[in-house]
Structures are given as C-alpha cells and as structure tokens.
Structure 1
Amino acid sequence: MRVLSVDLGTANTVAVLSDHGVVDLDGGPTMPSSVYLDEDGTLRVGREAERRSRQDPSRYEANPKRHIDKATIKLGETNLPVNDALAAIYARVMEAVTPLLQGAQLDEIRLTHPAEWGPSRRNKLLSSARLAGMTGELVPVPEAVAVASLGGGRPLAIYDFGADTFDVSVLDAEHRILADGSLSDVGGLDIDQALLEHIGRSVSHKDPAGWQRLLRPTTIDDHRARLGLREELRLAKEDLSELPQVEVMMPEPFEKVVITRAELEALIRSSLIRSTELLITTVHKAGVTPEHVYLVGGSCRMPLVAQIIAEKVGIVPTNPDNPETIVASGALAVDKTKITLKAEDDKPKYVEPPTVVTAPVSPAVTGPHPVNPNVSGPHPAVSGPYAVNPNVSGAYSTSGTYPVTGPFQANPAVSGSYPMNFPQQAPKKDNKKVFISVGAAIVAVAAIIGSVIALSGPDLPSADECKDDVAQDGQGFTKCLRQLAGTVPDGGGCEHADSAQITGMEEIKGTVVSCTIRDGYAVQYILTDSVTGAENNADAIVKSFQTDRVEADWAGNGLEGNYRAATSSGTGVLVFTAKGRPMFGILTKTAEENADELKPDEIADFFEQTVLPGE
C-alpha cells in the first residue's frame, strides 16, 4: 500500500511518502507554496518562483492558498484560476515523488486542510490535485486530526500557529473534533507585518519618500526592494527563536537595523495572550479536559509561545521536533474510517474581539459582515475530466495505519507531570470589547443632503477644546469633527448617528457622523472621550486587516496624523487618526466590478486626494 500525504500550507508545502518519510521537494523538507507566471504562460513554483519574483513582482503570488475562496489570482495581466495555481504546487510534489516510486503507482493520496473547511474548499483541493495528474484515491484529512493521530488515544488540544491564521481544535480520545476556533489576524504573516511597521517607526524619518516607495511600490525596483525586505524580516523572525538579537539588512538608503528578541516579543505578546485565551475558551466549549496541548506551525518555535501557554494554562505544551512537517507526517497515521468532515461551508470562525480600554464609541456600523466571495458567481470550469472522488463526503474503507515514531518532545528543562489548569468556564473580562472588521466597517451608510464649510484659520479648535466638544450642527458634526472632515461635508451626504449595534456586541454610544461620497466610498468620523480611546479603536480595526497594508503620515487643516489602508475580496478600509486629538475616521470602499483589482494604494490615493482635510 503506497500512500502519499501532502500538506499544502499557506507558506510552505510538505509531502511524506509511506516507507520513505519526508520527501525532498525543493532542496529541503519544505517548499514555499508560491507561484510565478512567466510571460509565456509557464507557471513556476517554490523557490524558483521566489527567485523569478525579482524580475516582475506583479507576476508573483507568495501565498495562493489565501485565495481559496476566489475564482482567480491576478498575476501580471493574467487572471489565473486558483485551481491552476494549487495544481502547479501539487504537480511539483509529484515530480519529486515519482522517482521514489520506481515505476509503481500511488494507491492513496491524503490531502490535508484546515479543520473548518467545508466541501467547497475541500473539493477545490481535490480538483486541483486531479488537475495536477494525481491518481489513486484522494482522501481529505483535517489538519487537527492528522496531528492528533500521533498523540495516542486521549483527548488533545491542537494549537496551530500557521502563516495565515491561528487555529485551535479540541479532540476526544477517538480524534473527533469537539470544538474549534480561529483568529484571522494572528499568524506568521502578521508577525512579519508587525516587524515591518516596527522598523518603519525607527528608519522612515531618514527618507519618508523612500519608505513610502517600499510600502507602496510603483516600479519593478521598488517591488524588488519590498520583496527583499520582507524576506529579511521573515528570516529575522526565525533567527530570533534562537538568538537574542539579529541584524536586518535594509535596502538603500536605509542602514541595517538591529532587532532584539525582547522587541519582537513586545510586539506579539498581546496576540499570543489572545490565542491562549481562545484555547481556554475552546476547551470549555468542547466539554473535555485535554491531556496535552500540541504545538503546530513554524511560528511555534518562538519561546514566548510555550511560555505564555504555560503561564495561562499551567502546563508545558508538547513541542514537535519538526512543527512544519508534523501535519503531513500525522496524515499517514490517520485511520480514515474515523475521519469526520465539516458538512457545511463558511462556518463562522470565532474571532476574539480586541479590547478597548477606554469608553467605546459608535463606529456607526450595522448589519452583518459581507457575504462570502464564494457567492459572487461561479468559478470558471476547469478543463478536463477532473471528477471529484465520491468517497470524500462519506466513510472510507481502512487498509491499515502507518506507525510513526513519536516526534513530540516535552520541554527537557521541566520534569514531572503537569495538571491542565483549564478553568471550568471561559474567563470573563472587565473591559467591554468591540471588534470592528474590514467587513463590518463596510456597510450601508445613511445619507442626507447638507453643506458645511471647512474650518480654517483662527477658528480651529485646540486639542483641549476637543475633550469637551459636545455641541453638534445639523449634520452631527462637532467643531473638532468638522476640522477632521475638512471639505467632505460640502458635498452633502453626511448624517449624525446616535448609536450603533454591531452584530454580536452590545450597543455602543458615541459621537459619530457618517458621510457617503461617491464611487462606493463612504467615511465615518468618530469622536471619543480621550486620545487613547481613539487610538485603541483605530488599532482594533487595523488588527482585523488580513492582507498587506499601506501606512503613511498625513497633515492638513491644522492637524497631523497617520493612516493605514488595506483591501480584501473587493472591500477596502482606511483608518486615519489625528495626533493628540480624541477622534479618528474610517474610509471604506466597496468595489462592485473588478473586485480583485482593488488595491490599498487606490484607497490611499482617494484619501489623499478627496478626504484628507486640506489647509
């Protein structure tokens, strides 16, 4: 019985072949899950794709799996079907595996996937595998089940710190998933982004224009510099798991930067605490006490991960020797007759809302999150007879299991047994929480016709006056909010909102004015009771960004501040704050056509040209 397991992850792909072990895919046990489209239509993958990305970064996609819910990925001027990108990665796996088979055929191929994926996403993997020429029975295996199969017959918790998201699953002794949860803004890519912003705060003053070209590249040279810096940051993050400090080589004109482990841990500590709180909450929902917590994903190599789990839960988590390959290895050991797959797509993920430490304000948001992009239209048909295996939604006949030597090792510095100190109920927090996602911020905005002349000259209010700014005009603007709005109210379409009800949250009070502009753009101006309150609420929105974002400073109308912009699945958001003032704004954009082409640059340009309050 020849069985191959393939873990196509967001950042890397791993394959394990029965009676052989981990396959050398691309010069090592892991291959980057990246693709590059040549001008002649040739699709490159792995490290070759990374190398060619320097030629034309617009033809490169580092993480095609992040686009699983889309029909296509834009590479250069080509809209490449997502199935083709994933199939190219699977095909590269088969190129490496075929010589090892020595003419034999695979009996079974096990494809791992996140536990919360439903049939649409799973079938996309299956059809991509068929497109890649994979023959034999295709068996989808939830990642959490794969890891649990190596832990014996006992209740387990899987702490999966991946590149894109953080996922937690609790399984019973039969390896059935009892409860799971996810944080969409906690992943290895988010750590890279935090490091980029951290460096920007220390070096951007030397050449602000040069730093903006790194954040918003327009030329091939700019794109190359950005890709090079991101690779440096990824390597720095990995090295800091072993070293107290590292040097990051910067593109010209910036000098190299030293980053310490203490700096990195300060950046990510709050996110790791949230992940541990979600672990505790998920265990409570499952109704069982797991005997072990297994760490999965390359980011789990950071010492702070195990440290915080030990502090909050009271147990030293179990560390695999090779967290990057453990999912693929475990998939071989799974008893496929006991695999339970999600029957429905798009199950809402649990998302821990950011804590707002001051009195929350109303962002004038109502209604549900945007509809999943899956429903925006059918995916293009894949050419060729790529029939989905009918077994994927039912039971599988067993043909034996595959023994795997125990790859898990407890922390050698700690001996003895440790009770799992999970509380009987999820811990309560004193602070009220508000979660504002990109989707939640982009909703219908009421509009009325009105006109307000922008404040200027001696009428500009001081920072102290903003603290007690309560008088509102007919559109709901206070004196300070009018200063932030500039000339936007002159076009009408602005309206006061007394309060807002965010789905799943308590009613939030505050001073809010919402304005519709044009071309799908809307802006909301929010006055809080403190500068810290404004900054915390703005940060809460930014934490929901799941993609690369644009960040820059702005100044106008007697104010100065910072803005951050991001887009995802045809929606965009830009959050801007005013330095020293208890207020901030949210610019949103919904693209009705060519949604995949909406970029953060476009949102930032619109802000600077239309929304930014002029002098």
Structure 2
Amino acid sequence: MPCGTINRYAFEGRTVRILSVDLGTANTVAVLSGHGVVDVDGGPAMPSSVYLDEDGTLRVGREAERRSRQDPSRYEANPKRLIDKATIKLGDQNLPVNDALAAIYARVMESVTPLLMGAQLDEIRLTHPAEWGPSRRNKLLSSARLAGMTGEIVPVPEAIAVAALGGGRPLAVYDFGADTFDVSVLDAEHRILADGSLPDVGGLDVDQALLEHIGRSVSHKDPAGWQRLLRPTTVEDHRARLGLREELRLAKEDLSELPQVEVLMPEPFEKVVITRAELEALIRPSLIRSTELLISTVHRAGVTPEHVYLVGGSCRMPLVAQVIAEKVGIVPTNPDHPETIVASGAQVVDKTKITLKAEDDKPKFVEPPTVVTAPVSPAVSGPHPVNPNVSGPNPVVSGSFPGTSGSYPNPATSGAYSASGSYPVTAPYAVNPNVSGSYPMNFPQQTGPKKKDNKKILLGAGGAVVAVAAILGAVFAFSGPDLPSADECKDDTTQDGQGFTRCLRQLAGTVPDGGGCEKADSAQITGMVEIKGTVVTCTIRDGYSVQYVLTDSVTGAMNNADSIAMSFQTDTVEADWTGNGLEGDYRAATSSGTGVLVFTAKNRPMLGILTKNAEENADELKPDEIADFFEKSVQPGE
C-alpha cells in the first residue's frame, strides 16, 4: 500500500477513527484515518525538538528550532534519545522527559482536532522501536495521556507497522533512523522472529562524521576557533555550532541528489565543498556493518525474507541500497516516503496480532560473528521506572489539547495499556507498487575467520567497569634507551604480574604504581561489544577506571579508537598528548552520567579507554572534566 493510503473499517455502523503517531528521534509523523498524513507544524514531518522559555513555556517543532538560537542551552533536538532518563537539563531547569514527549504529542493533537470536526478518536496508535520493553513503552504511553490523548492507546512496534504494508510474507525491516540502526525479521504472520541494533549507526552519526571530516581540513586555520565550535562555552559559540550542524544535515540530504555541495562555515572559516564520494567513503564501513547485522539476524530468525524494506530518512542515500544489493544480492524495497511509512503502516496493523517485548534491559546490540571489531556507545543508561503522573508546569503555546487550558491534564493512569481487542481489518495489505517481481535473496553463509583465544575486552552502552582486585606485581622501569620501540611492541607478549607488557606499561605510566590493576580475560560494561587483544583493567579513584588494550596492529588500535569516538553523540573534547616517550591524541565525551575518553599512541598498536561513572549530579559531568582527569592522573608523564 503506498504511503498515505488509509485504513478504514466499520465499527457499530460507522468508520473507526484511528490516529497513528510515529514520534521519531528526529521527526514526528501522524496519519489520520480518512485523511492521510497530517500536516503538523507546516509539513508532513515535524522536528521532534523542544525549547523551554525562561517563563516555563515549552515550545516544540520548528518554533523550538527557531528559538534555539536565542539560548541553545534551553534546546533539545532529540528528546526521544533520553527516554531512559528522568529529566532533561534545559537552561537552569530540569524538565521531566514525560513533559517533553507530551508536548510533541499535544502539538500533533492540535493539528488533528480540526480534522475530526467534533468527533472523537477511537484509537491512538503509538509506534516505538521493536526492542523497547514495558518501561520505555509505558513512558511513551503515559506521555500521550499527559498530552490529553483519550480513548484506547495501542503501542505498535515499528517493524510490525512496516510489515503490515508488505502483505502476508516474510520480510526484513532495515531501519536507518536518526539515532540507531535497527533490523527485524518477521514471518508471514508479522511476528518478529529476530532483531538487532547498532546504537552507533544513525543519521546523527553521519552528521558527526561530516563534522570531523570538515575539521580535518579547516581546523588548522584557527585551532582555537575550531575548539570553540566543538566545545562551545558562550551563547555565540553555541549558535555557531547549531548553525554548522544544520548546514551539515542539509548537505547530507542534498548529496542524495547532487554530486557535491557547498557548506557555509561560521567565521573565520571559509565555505567547504563536500562531494558525494567523500560522504560515501565516510559511511560505507558503517553500512557494511549494518548489512552484516542484517545477514546474521536473518540466520537467527531461520527464515528467508522475500523483501528488505528500507525505513528512515537516511535510506535516501543511494549507497544504502547499493551496499545491500552488493552484500545480500537483493534490490531492497525503498518507499517513496521512508519517513512516513511507519505511521502509515500502523494504520493497517491487526492489533490482535501485535506482540510486544515482555522484558527490559535486553542488550540492543547484536554484533554479527563476521565482524572483528565494532564501535561502542559510551553512555546509554538503563531504563528508569515510569511514573505516569509526573509533570512539570510547562504550558505548550498553541499546542495544547482542547480543554486543557494550555497545560497537560494529569489523569490517574495505570502506566500499562493493553494492545488487546478485536476489530476486523477489512482493508487488504498491499505491497509497495514500485516493487515488481521477486528477487533472489542471497544471504551468504558466514565464513569469517575463527576467533583466536585472545584476551578481550567487552564494552558497550554505558554502565560501570567491573571492579577488579588490586594485584601488585613487578613493574618495568623505563628510562631513556629502555623504552620499547614500535617494532618491539608488535611482538610484545611477555606480561608482568599485573598483566602489562612493556609497551602497555609504557602507555600506563605511573597508574599501575597505585595498585588496582590486573590482567583481564574480559572487562565488561553493559552492551557487550568486543575488542580483541591483551587487556589490563585498572580501577583508580572517584569512579574512574582505565582499560589498556594491546591489539595486533597499529591500524587495529586506530580503528577501535575511531569506532568508539564515532559513537559519541554529544559534544567532544579532542587534544594531543605526549609523555613517557610517546605521543598521541585523545577524544572524550559524556552522556547520561557516564564519561568515556579513548586515547591512542602514535605508531603503537595500543589504546586506552578511561571511563567515569557519576552516581551523583550525573547531568553535571562534562567532557572537560574527563579530559582534565586524564591529563593530570592518567596521561603518562615525561
């Protein structure tokens, strides 16, 4: 069924009125039965952004984007990414996440209400990622109630919504969203057989890659000015950063159609030309990883899908379909409007057949066996218990549901909503009309090399490094000519009592002298992404831990460090360092109370990962704090 086609069926002699809302990380789309895609906030897709005025008024959508230039600290472009947090820091206020999401839903209702012409909605269908458990779903549903949405509210997994447009056939959903990449494989009954996710592959990650790419070519003109863009401290710096990120987003979209684009830069930097070839070189490794995850998810599902449906605005990039065709041997189904397909599909889902994930805290990330290394998301906190009655006094300007007088109603809801019921769906499922015939699905057997029994370190989406007992062992003394060369590091296997090789000991400097270091078969953070090598984990103080990894090559160390840094979704601190006969660079970021700093040594096959867990005042943890601690306490001295 083409996007925008609406499902209508009879109930008690009348047409049932269904509103489906896809509140995405970047944009929100609504579809109303009997009408189609709703024009919300001046277009079919409203930015899922919020801005909190000093008087407590909460703005949403394009109005929030416009006001963000006044005070960027009061602006949040992607509140859905913070679903696991209780509040969002906006200016000097902590806004409940429920209120931010409710404001977006309320703006949708403002646009829908005139179309109902006095009638009431029978159902409101809210889409969500398939891997969300009860806590996240209930937070979404309670936000809808807070916004004044009445009637039955039905949660619909995004993959099931897309499958409803594909008819009764097994298929895969390749969802390249703004925040993450998600893949689901469904059977002919639209049951999810297997799914997986890459938390560090999304449209925002593409924007970040473009920012870093430009920085490599222009930062030399004014290094201090570039650092102000990366680490803004004034309102003017924040405005410049927001403007540049918007330019990069538009450039990324334009490169889907054009061979090259110009990016306007803030002063003193001159405009930069980016080609499609440059963009594709940046994103191809991530697309290959996403395709490998697609293949492994199909294997786990045990069925061969007849189609691969592309979802999300980032799927407009021609390279996405090209890589899938190269690796899988099928031309994927690319709808005309990938941004609206989820909300449109939710209209025709048979809700009696919806299956929801019953548990929270399942690892979202499933790495295909053929991948040797993978990026890691430094800080994604676990879900918090949902209190549907939590609300702050934040009226929505021109965006409240009738009868609420500009503020959200706060009904006594249970926080758990049923997806049961029995309404017959009479509209037939339809296949995308642009896809004809059937393509052979060539999911290759995985023949990657068998992993060696190396020491390894497991990293992932936030959490604390497993504490280890302090083992004091012999340490290597370094001075002048005793420093190991780069060539010696490649064959460096002898370990001391704490697990350090001579090269790792050179990188660690004086950190092991305080104890708290031991060799590790695995050091674990929630999420489980594997980096192979010889590993030593050290607990330091004040919630800091550092992990030293000796890999099999200089390239391997650099790739692992780049993968970790690419997962940073927030402001990043970057700098060079020297010490103990070494020189290198580091990159640091914080999110949701967790800080990560990854550092490498030039021409050495090793890296270090400094982690900080802030149990108190989590929102106050900043990248500068992590960088300062590294320079004072972790960076090896001369």
Q: Is the 8 A contact 1:485 1:525 kept in 2?
A: yes
Is the counterpart of residue 603 in structure 1 residue 626 in structure 2? Answer: yes
Q: Which range moves more in the overlay, 589-598 or 397-406?
A: 397-406
Deviations 1:394-432 (A, max 9, x none): 52121545578765523xxxx754212234xx5131163
Q: 2:429 aligned with 1:421, yes or no? A: no
Match of 1:577 among 600, 608, 612: 600
- Report the CA distance shift for 1:162/1:212 in structure 2 as closer, same or farther (over 3 A): same
1:301 and 1:508 map into 2 onto residues whose CA distance is 32
After the TM superposition, which residues 493-508 of structure 1 pair with which residues of structure 2 at under 5 Å, given as runs? 493-497=515-519, 499-500=521-522
Query: Residue type matched to 1:205 in 2?
Result: H
Aligned to 1:392, the other structure's residue is in SS state: coil
Q: Distance in 2 between matches of 1:247 and 1:354?
A: 40
- Pairing partner for 1:386 from 402, 408, 411: 411
Which amino acid letter does the alignment assign opposite residue 382 of structure 1? V
| Pairing partner for 1:112 from 127, 132, 146 | 127
Counterpart residue type for residue 135 of structure 2: S
Tell me which moved more, 95-104 or 15-24: 95-104
2:319 to 274, 292, 304: 304
Question: 1:269 aligns to what?
Answer: 284
- Alignment partners' CA distance in 1, 2:344 and 2:127: 10
Q: Give 1:351 deviation, angstroms.
A: 2.4
Deviations for 1:180-224, whole angstroms, at most 9, x for unmatched residues?
Answer: 111111111111111111112222222222222111111111111
Judging changes above 3 Å, is the alpha-carbon distance between structure 1 residues 354 and 291 closer, same or farther for their aligned structure 2 residues?
closer
Residues 204 and 356 from structure 1, CA distance in 2 versus in 1: closer, same or farther, beyond 3 angstroms? farther
**Is the 8 Å Cα contact of residues 436 and 544 (structure 1) preserved in structure 2?**
no
Q: Pick the aligned partner of 2:307 from 284, 292, 299.
A: 292
Number of the residue aligned with 2:341: 326
Q: In the alignment, residue 596 of structure 1 is paired with which amino acid? A: D
Q: Identify which of 412, 422, 445 aligns with 1:397.
A: 422
Residue of structure 2 equivalent to 1:46: 61
Q: Give 2:172's aligned residue.
A: 157
The answer for the alignment partner of 2:383 in structure 1 is: 374
Q: Aligned equivalents of 1:198 and 1:58: distance in 2?
A: 26
What is the TM-score of this pair, normalised by structure 2?
0.86
Query: Equivalent residue for 2:434?
Result: 409
Gap change, CA 1:454 and 1:609, over 3 Å in 2: farther
Gaps (5+ residues) in structure 1? 361-368
Alpha-carbon spacing, 1:458–1:174, altered in 2? closer, same or farther (3 Å): closer
Contact 1:524 1:587 in 2 (8 A): yes
Aligned residues: 598
Q: CA deviation at 1:451?
A: 10
Aligned pair 1:139/2:154, yes or no? Answer: yes
Provide the secondary structure at the position in 1 that maps to 2:615.
coil
Q: Per the alignment, in what secondary structure is the counterpart of residue 99 of structure 2? A: helix
* 1:71 aligned partner: 86
Q: Contact conserved, 1:138 with 1:389, CA < 8 A, in 2? A: no
Q: Secondary structure in 1 aligned to 2:337?
A: coil
Query: Contact 1:500 / 1:508 at 8 angstroms: preserved in 2?
Result: no
Aligned identity (percent) is 82
CA deviation map 1:299-327 (0-9, x unaligned): 11111111111112211111111000111
Q: Which one has more relative contact order, counting CA pairs under 8 Å at least 6 apart?
A: 2
Instruction: Give the CA RMSD over aligned residues.
Output: 3.1
CA distance in 1, matches of 2:264, 2:379: 40
Higher mean alpha-carbon deviation, 303-312 vs 172-181, is at 172-181
**Please, which of 75, 96, 106 is the counterpart of residue 81 of structure 1?**
96
Deviation of the 1:552 alpha carbon: 2.8
Deviations 1:152-191 (A, max 9, x none): 2222211111111111112222222222111111111111
Q: Deviations for 1:242-296, whole angstroms, at most 9, x for unmatched residues?
A: 1111111111222211111111111111211121122122222222222111111
Query: 1:125 and 1:508 mapped to 2: Cα distance?
Result: 35
Q: How does 1:176-575 map to 2 (within 5 A)?
A: 176-352=191-367, 373-374=382-383, 379=387, 381-382=389-390, 385-388=410-413, 392-398=417-423, 400-401=425-426, 408-410=433-435, 417-423=438-444, 426-430=445-449, 432=451, 436-439=459-462, 442-448=465-471, 455=478, 460-469=483-492, 475-490=498-513, 492-497=514-519, 499-500=521-522, 511-545=534-568, 547-575=570-598
User: Equivalents in 1 of 2:529, 2:540: separation in Å?
Assistant: 29
Whole-angstrom distance in 2 between the partners of 1:506 and 1:44: 38
* Structure 2 match to 1:56: 71
Aligned with 1:610: secondary structure?
helix
Going from structure 1 to structure 2, the CA distance change for 1:472 and 1:167 (only over 3 Å counts) comes to closer
CA contact (8 A) 1:442 1:573 kept: no
Q: 1:391 Cα deviation (Å)?
A: 8.3
User: 1:445–1:109: structure 2 CA closer, same or farther, 3 Å change rule?
Assistant: same
Which residue of 139, 144, 154 maps to 1:129?
144
Alignment partners' CA distance in 1, 2:534 and 2:169: 53
TM-score computed with the length of structure 1 as normaliser = 0.89
| Contact 2:381 2:461 survives alignment (8 Å) | no
- Partner Cα distance (1:285, 1:353) in 2: 10
